[in-house]
Amino acid sequence: MSESKLPVSTIPALRFAFDRSLVIAFSCIILMLLGGALYSREFLSPEYLLQQLQISAFLGIIASGAMMVILIGHIDLSIPWTVTLGAMMATAVAGWFGETGNLLAIPVGVFCGAMVGLLNGLGVAYLRLPSMIFTLGMNAVVQGLMVLHTGGFAPQDHATDAMHFLAVGRPVFGIPNALLIWVAVGTLTIFLLTRTAFGRRVYAVGNREAAAYLSGVNTNAVIIWCFVLSGAAAAFAGVLLAGYSTKAYQAMGDPYLLPAIAAVVLGGTNILGGRGNYLGTIAGVILITLLQSILAVMQMPEAGRQIIYGVVILAMLLAYGRGEIDRK
């Protein structure tokens, strides 16, 4: 059976629609902005909002890749140390090869992340191992390699000027480069999901992999490519984070695993795969960044931040998550 005969019911509408999850997410964003403005007048200032969007960009790029994996019904738990891998290898290459290294730093960092994604995809697609277990193991392997590479200490290599410029530069009307890069990554993600055969295959595999396979879809290739994109996105975000902080450091990706997955799910993407759009992921990323910012402005103790952060995520998931899973 040719791929063109895929049942229409297996592929959700690819156009953006303001479903319940999007309405909830954007409503919470508005409420947080208004609440923050009551607490501090600077909260709605253009400079502060741009700063928050710049911070959101790093999480948004990671969430772009995580969304691809979640859409096919899997999960990537190797994100934390893939972020660190991208940052450490980019700065290391710059330190090893001088001027040539400056040119190769960013591509090498992204390539290393893509290779981690490739191994994840091969393990999940061909060995049929649960993605949660395989990617968690891969995360531990990468962690061990990076500790071996650095001897357990913070790397001494610094980010290149290009990495720093991409992360913190504002050459276009004062808009952060990191935000522009997120826009570019988001545009590419939207194009892949809504305007290409690959995007249709992603949704088909996420809805029912067996049916997609019988319809002629190379499901293994789709799985592998989604994991490759996730690894490359995580490593690229790591490269930008190294540019933002001027150095790579141990475990720099650890704070991004839960927020990345939560941003995708809070934006309405079904955790079981097959349904979701990127507009929701954008809303989820901004929502989580604002929540973190408000708790920081309130000088909330770390324990209190974690409690409130978890309660808000659980409350939003309960608001619409069960209905989405039942629909699945």
Q: Distance (Å, rounded) from C-alpha 139 to C-alpha 79?
A: 7
Counting Cβ atoms within 10 Å, is residue 36 exposed (0-12), middle (13-18) or buried (19+)?
buried
More confident call, 323 vs 64: 64
Buried (b) or exposed (e) across 189-221, using 16+ Cβ within 10 A? bbebbbeeeebbbbbbbbbbbebbeebebebbe
Please give the span between the terminal C-alpha atoms of the chain, in angstroms, as a whole number: 25
Tell me the per-residue pLDDT of 4-40, one tens digit each, with 9 for 90 and over. Answer: 444 444 444 434 445 677 787 788 888 888 887 887 7
Mean pLDDT score, 244-260: 89
- Give the pTM: 0.88
Q: How sure is the predictor about 94, in pLDDT bands with cuts at 50, 70 and 90?
A: confident
Mean pLDDT score, 278-297: 87
pLDDT value for 319: 62
CA within 13 Å, CB half, 210: 0
Tell me the per-residue pLDDT of 223-240, one tens digit each, with 9 for 90 and over. Answer: 999 999 999 999 999 999
Q: How sure is the predictor about 322, in pLDDT bands with cuts at 50, 70 and 90?
A: low
Q: Residue 201 above 80 pLDDT?
A: yes
pLDDT value for 321: 52
Tell me the per-residue pLDDT of 31-53, one tens digit each, with 9 for 90 and over. Answer: 888 887 887 777 788 888 898 89
Which CATH number is 20-30+47-315 given? Answer: 1.10.3470
Q: Give the pair of three-digit tokens for residue 203.
A: 């949704």
